[in-house]
Structure 1
Amino acid sequence: MKIIIINSGSSSIKYQLINMPTKEVICSGMIDRIGLDSSNLTYVTNSTKLEESLPIADHKIGLEKIAELLMNDNIGVIKTTEEINAVGHRVVHGGSYFTDTTIINSDVKEKIKELSILVPLHNPAHLLGINVAEEIFATAKQVAVFDTAFHQTIPVVAYKYAIPNALLTESKIRVYGFHGISHKYVSEKAIEYLKKSSKIISIHLGNGCSMTAIQDGKSIDHTMGFSPSNGLIMGTRSGDIDHSLIFYLINTLGYTATEVNNLLLKESGMLGLTGYSDLRDIEASAEKGNIDCQLALAMNAYRIRKYIGSYAAAMNGLDAIIFTAGIGENSSYIRKLVCTDMDYFGIEIDMEKNDIRSKEIREINTLNSKTKIMVIPTNEEVEIANQVYNLLLN
């Protein structure tokens, strides 16, 4: 069964064509920096590696470019779209409607659209990807895999907000949690590596960032909540703020509600602190002495450290922390900032191991560290393929 996975992020598209159940990756690639003048495109097969820098204005143009490459006469891997059995779509928010992998129909698309108000950086991109995929891969099953599903095990004491009860029972306002596909994948890899169901904190750091407390393989708390906007400092999102700030911006400074929403989601975070949203640019400027960038990186790490303490308390212990996703896997600088002076939690980083680049699961802690510090490359596409295959098989 050939399954193409489309993972549309807020500023990127990752894709893989996977042969199931062997999990053979026929083709893979990514487009990042969507919306900028210099978007990066990669397209990789067993015999081809294409890297290109070009302007890609939006997700629709990006997906059309990917489809063009897949069926290219010279470097393509399929001759006809009928070779694709299914398209697996990562969808960030399933709300209270979807708690498991789901075959997409018009009702499912309508619910995804409804939830776009909560995740304006994500669900609209997913829906666009679904609509384009339906046109291109017309004979394939379209399947949605939801980031919120993994967090259904969060207990009520953690997912309920201290607001009137009716807002939960009638309006379904609660913590939903996000990046669940990634957190599920890396935590299962960690448990397999450690050979026990441990107390784990998974730290997913990309343009969007989140942390999950995972006990006995289940999510029990998560930094994001009703929408993927709170918690850690992100590329353009503020993360945690005092909610009274919203009313101050509106009532005193004259912002509209739409302007505040745009400010907190698209103009804040590392972008608001430094003028850059990409951590590679921020680290480069920090190394050259940019004080704003140096402070932003310190603030980013400080927020992560606070949540490590919080989740160690919630689980009454800590066996391992996992760094994953683009920043978590590749930024030795952020990992060093997070793990330095954390010996109270049994976290001791080995600086030499931390600087080693690898695509394998690895420990970067010292031999004396009581808590394992692990770098585990996430593979949301393989996790999505597993879930799509299992659904269609049944």
Structure 2
Amino acid sequence: MSGPGQVLVLNAGSSSLKYQVVDPASGAAPVQGIVERIGSGAARLTHRDPGGTSDRDLDADDHLAALAAVHDALDGSGIGERDLRAVGHRVVHGGPRLTRAHLVDDAVLAEIEHLARLAPLHNPPAVEGIRSARAAYPCLPQVAAFDTAFFADLPPAAATYAVDRALLEREEVRRYGAHGISHEYVAGEAAALLGRAPEVLSLVVLHLGNGASAAAVRGGRPVDTSMGLTPLEGLVMGTRAGDLDPGILLHLMRHAGLGLDELEDLLHHRSGLEGMAGRHDFRDLLAAVDAGDEAARTAYDVYCHRLRKYVGAYLAVLGGADAVVFTAGVGEHVARVRADALDGLSALGIEVDPARNSSDDVGARLVSTDSSPVAVLVVPTNEELSIARQAAAVLAGRL
């Protein structure tokens, strides 16, 4: 394996722990894996290295136990503490103060924990991941990279909600955005694909996974994004509705008797594609659409309609764009979503080439016609590489 320039990147979810050993300079990630179903009594570790893939069941009641298993798996691949430069962590919410990647000390960790009030499903697992990594790798610096950081300098017109100003300032309510690690990385890769400097480009970036968000990026910096105070706003997602009339929630509280916990469960787990069609995996949704399921068809149409609306809105915000960029699981792999979401937008300068769009090519690529004034790109995201690079920059004093 390579030397101590590598960064162990951890992405802790509520019941999972993804990891990669990444070389920030080359982008190589020779060792990676995931621990799933932490705390269920039936955890499982999948580990990949140059020698192949292995799976084994674990007794992992918490993230500390999961990371101990990861530590052992890395040791089996020849990766020990001496081979690593740092541990990098993905944290969803950095709030108004953590607006760049930070070396984690007790104060930074306390702030991340405090911000669980803004990201109750996302920040607590990150805190557990950081604590576990500090215990497992006591000699390594821990660096936190934040999904909200890319959007910290959104223009006030985009960041401000039209609600009582004093109340919002007191509660630190604004548009923070999310998926910023991905949006920033993809915007840079899109510029490289186009052979132009980020500073001269206007891009609409669509991060479409189980969670989904859009960003309008001008000159390498975001000027608007679809997610808001939390990751609940914006595009239709696997289990989240995205944009929603807040009056619906008041109506459900008053007339359906739903309490706060029930509303939170509804918004996070029983909405979006799952709520409309009873399935949140896009492969299952498309199979149901093709089988003639009307609920699935409607859900798919709502999904594409919302995408088309955001593309049009962000073209207006940007005053025109050089490219629309698709990334993440759905954005990278589902050609029909790209085609259907952009269908009928030739008057706005967007023309998808059917053959390019439906090809089996992988990697960053152009899928628009040669004559399309606005390029349509597919750019695979690599949040782990971005986190590793941010960690290296923090340690080098560049952030």
> TM-score scaled by structure 2?
0.90
Structure 2 residue corresponding to 1:261, chosen from 260, 264, 280:
264
- 2:241 matches 1:238: yes
1:93 aligns to what?
93
- 1:82, 1:140 within 8 Å by CA — same for their partners in 2? no
Deviation string 1:19-72 (CA, Å, 9 cap, x unpaired) is 343443231334678899999865332332346899999766654543332123
Matched, 1:77 2:78: yes
Name 1:24's counterpart in structure 2: 28
Q: Secondary structure at the match of 1:297?
A: helix
The residue type paired with residue 97 of structure 1 is R
Counting only pairs closer than 5 Å after superposition, residues 46-85 of structure 1 correspond to structure 2 as 46-50=50-54, 63-72=67-76, 76-78=77-79, 80-85=80-85
Q: Mean Cα displacement is larger for which, 220-229 or 40-49?
A: 40-49
Conserved 8 A contact 1:155-1:220: yes
- Cα contact 2:350–2:372 (8 A) shared by 1: yes
Structure 1 pair 66–199 and aligned structure 2 pair: CA distance change class (3 A): same
Equivalent position of 1:107 in the other structure: 107
Residue 338 in structure 1 maps to residue 341 in structure 2: yes
CA distance, structure 1, for counterparts of residue 279 and residue 39 of structure 2: 14
> SS where residue 109 of structure 2 aligns?
helix
Aligned residue in 2 for 1:45: 49
Note the alpha carbon deviations across 1:283-306, whole angstroms, 9 max, x for none. 222222222222211111111110
For residues 352 and 59 of structure 1, the distance between their equivalents in structure 2, rounded to whole angstroms, comes to 45
Find the counterpart in structure 2 of residue 250 from structure 1. Answer: 253
- Is the contact between residue 203 and residue 217 of structure 2 (CA under 8 Å) also seen in structure 1? yes
Q: Secondary structure at the match of 1:86?
A: strand
- The Cα of 1:311 is off from its aligned counterpart by 0.6
Q: Which of 340, 345, 348 matches 2:351?
A: 348
What is the CA RMSD across the aligned residues, in angstroms? 2.6
Name the count of aligned residue pairs.
Answer: 390
Residue matched to 2:327: 324
Q: Which moved more, 1:24-33 or 1:364-373?
A: 24-33
**Alignment pair present for 1:129 and 2:129:** yes
Q: Which residue of 1 aligns with 2:390?
A: 387
The superposition leaves residues 196-227 of structure 1 with CA deviations (integer Å, 9 ceiling, x where unpaired) of 42110000011110000001111000000111
**Residue 228 (structure 1) aligned to one of 211, 226, 231:** 231
Quote the Cα distance in structure 2 between the aligned partners of 1:164 and 1:312: 29
Per the alignment, do residues 36 and 318 of structure 1 end up closer, same or farther by CA in structure 2, a change over 3 Å counting? farther
- 1:81 touches 1:138 (CA, 8 Å); kept in 2? no
Aligned to 1:140: 140
TM-superposed CA distance for 1:364, in Å, is 0.7
Confirm or deny: 8 A CA contact 2:96 2:152 kept in the other structure: no
Does the residue aligned with 1:282 lie in a helix, a strand or coil?
helix
- After superposition, the C-alpha distances for 1:143-175 in whole angstroms (9 at most, x for unaligned) are 100111111231001111111221343332111
Q: Is 1:372 aligned with 2:378?
A: no
Give the secondary structure class of the aligned counterpart of 1:96.
Answer: coil
Q: Distance in 1 between matches of 2:192 and 2:170?
A: 40
Deviation at 1:328, TM superposition (A): 0.9
Query: CA distance change for structure 1 residues 35 and 325 in 2, over 3 Å: closer, same or farther?
Result: farther
Q: Give the C-alpha shift of residue 81 in structure 1.
A: 3.1
**179-188 vs 281-290, greater mean Cα deviation:** 281-290
Q: Which runs of 5+ in 2 are unaligned?
A: none
| CA pair 353-64 structure 1, distance change in 2 beyond 3 A | farther
Aligned to 2:128, what secondary structure does the other structure show? helix
Task: Determine what percentage of the aligned residue pairs are the same residue.
Answer: 36
Change (3 A) 1:228 1:131: same
Q: Which residue of 1 aligns with 2:204?
A: 201
Superposed, 1:144-223 pairs within 5 Å as 144-194=144-194, 195-196=196-197, 197-223=200-226
- Normalised by the length of structure 1, the TM-score is 0.91
- Tell me how far apart the structure 2 counterparts of residues 37 and 214 of structure 1 sit (CA, whole Å): 44
Residue 5 (structure 1) shift:
0.6
Q: CA deviation at 1:249?
A: 1.1
Distance 2:360 2:63 in 1: 30
Match of 1:5 among 9, 18, 22: 9
Contact preservation (8 Å) 2:209, 2:328: yes
Using the alignment, how far apart are the partners of 2:53 and 2:370 within structure 1?
39
Equivalents in 2 of 1:312, 1:252: separation in Å? Answer: 39
Q: Is the 1:154–1:221 contact (alpha carbons within 8 Å) kept by the matching residues of 2? A: yes
The offset of 1:121, in angstroms, is: 2.4
